[in-house]
Structure 1
Amino acid sequence: ADAFGRRKSMIIITTMIILFALFAFKPLLGSGNALLVFAFLLLGVSLMGLTFGPMGALLPELFPTEVRYTGASFSYNVSSILGASVAPYIAAWLQGNYGLAAVGTYLAAMAALTLI
């Protein structure tokens, strides 16, 4: 994050997550091949992990100095709780009604919100 800048790093990583979500779900996770499913999980978790470096520095910058860490911690924790609590239900419903590709589209849409 320090080499490219925090915002630029988040934009690049988020774009990679969008591409992963749109193009890796069906061929890797839906393949039924254990090695391809493992590759899917490894890539997905790696991309998720890459977001934490720049996010830790970027979030506090979004708030005034007086409320910097309160704002950063509150926004991060509330969004994490809300996102983590409903995302599995949405993903299960999408997969059951529209197939695995719909879950990837959902992930891509949520990642695109990060870019806004």
Structure 2
Amino acid sequence: MPSVFIFLCLGLAIMGLTYGPIGTVLSELFPTSVRYTGSALTFNLAGILGASFAPLIATYLATTYGLQAVGYYLAGAATLSLIAFLLIKESKNVDVNRQI
């Protein structure tokens, strides 16, 4: 039973590492005049689109190829997310309010 608790704590810690910086990352992408709207729409639309298809894909993979295929799917999605996060440009020295 203690091992389940350890895995639960580890999983929640990893979730915290994922959701912790997302507010900063999303807000840096938009100028201050539309920052709240842009970050809110981005976060909510990504959640709707990502969360709506993931269970359907996972169910299809589990019934067709077995449960380990769902693990591969989640690992692939995590890898793509990490690559996308690493490709975001640092904006600490950029004036995001400057019109291009």
Per the normalisation by structure 1, the TM-score is 0.60
TM-superposed CA distance for 1:47, in Å, is 1.3
1:70 partnered with 2:25? no
**Which fold has the larger relative contact order, with Cα–Cα distance below 8 Å and residues 6 or more apart in sequence?**
1
Question: For 2:55 and 2:21, how far apart are their aligned partners in 1?
Answer: 25
Structure 2, unmatched stretches of 5+, are: 85-100
Rg (Cα) greater in structure: 2
More helix by share: 1
Name the % identity: 55
Aligned residue type for 1:92: T
| 1:10-68 per-position Cα deviation (integer Å, ceiling 9, x unaligned) | xxxxxxxxxxxxxxxxxxxxxxxx76666544433331222111111111001122211
Distance 1:91 1:78, change over 3 A: same
Q: TM-score, normalised by structure 2?
A: 0.68
1:55 — aligned with what? 22
Secondary structure class of the residue paired with 2:20: helix
Q: What does 1:1-116 align with in structure 2 at a 5 Å threshold?
A: 39-114=6-81, 115-116=83-84
Q: CA RMSD in A?
A: 2.1
Shift of 1:113: 2.3
The separation in 1 between residues aligned to 2:67 and 2:3, in whole angstroms, is 15
Q: Which amino acid in 1 is paired with 2:68?
A: A
In structure 2, C-alpha distance between the alignment counterparts of 1:85 and 1:94, rounded to whole Å: 15
